Homo-oligomer: A and B are copies of this chain.
Amino acid sequence: MPAAAKPDMKERILQTADRLFYLKGIRAIGVDTIAAEIGISKRTLYNHFPSKDELISAYLKRRFVVAKPSEKSPLSQILGYFDALERRFSAKDFRGCPFVNAVAELGPEDRAVKKIAIAFKESRRVWFRDLLAQLGVADAEGLATQLVLLVDGSIAQDLVRDDPAMARAAKAAAKVLLKNAGVDVGEIGGAAEAP
């Protein structure tokens, strides 16, 4: 039918690539599949991205969203992160961390992918660290690292087991670590948690 005047073709390509790469795997999806899914020709796709590698990088960079400043208290931001994790685990289209998956899939030789993955992991660690510093935690660096271990551990476990309870377990452990660092987190149950 029509030819041009498609708005945000690049964004539409990226949206589709994101969904397919993330759900099925980067190596499992060919550029033909992405083009066919949108209903465009392969040539059009290659006019927007010079190679699949570029598309992969763009996909990962688009996934790299920075946390916006919040009005909420540092503690509720930290604990809320685990609640958000649990919601994401419960969604049926959750399939682990796209950065970890990409590194696992593409191997350590793909420097471009690894670089983006490292940057993302570091930015999230820094986000935790700054919130912890606001709470007056002495070793904010060390505790931030431990919190991201819980985050990534629950993501890996949920990827394999499809169990959103992993997020609750991570939150419970995070509370223990916070309390141990002198943060008042209120009551701490064994593992359960009152919403």
State the A residues within 8 Å of B (CB).
Answer: 23-25, 27-28, 95-97, 99-101, 103-108, 114, 117-118, 121-122, 138-139, 141-143, 145-146, 148-157, 159-161, 165-166, 169-170, 172-173, 176-177, 179-180, 190-191
Bound-state CA distance A150–B154 (Å) is 9
Closest CB in chain B relative to A172 CB, distance in Å: 7
Bound-state CA distance A169–B145 (Å) is 7
Residues of B within 8 A of A191 (CB): 139, 141-143, 145-146
Residues of B within 8 A of A121 (CB): 157, 160-161
Bound-state CA distance A96–B101 (Å) is 11
Beta-carbon contact of B107 and A25 below 8 Å: yes
Beta-carbon contact of B149 and A107 below 8 Å: no
Which one of B104, B139, B149 contacts A105 once the chains associate, using CB atoms below 8 Å? B104
20 A-B pairs within 8 Å (CB atoms) are namely A24-B107, A25-B27, A28-B107, A100-B159, A103-B159, A104-B104, A105-B105, A114-B160, A121-B157, A122-B161, A142-B169, A145-B169, A145-B191, A146-B169, A149-B153, A152-B156, A152-B157, A153-B156, A155-B156, A177-B177
Residues of B within 8 A of A27 (CB): 25, 27-28, 105
Residues of B within 8 A of A104 (CB): 25, 96, 100-101, 104-105, 159
Bound-state CA distance A27–B190 (Å) is 42
Beta-carbon contact of A149 and B160 below 8 Å: no
Residues of B within 8 A of A107 (CB): 23-25, 28, 95
Closest CB in chain B relative to A143 CB, distance in Å: 8
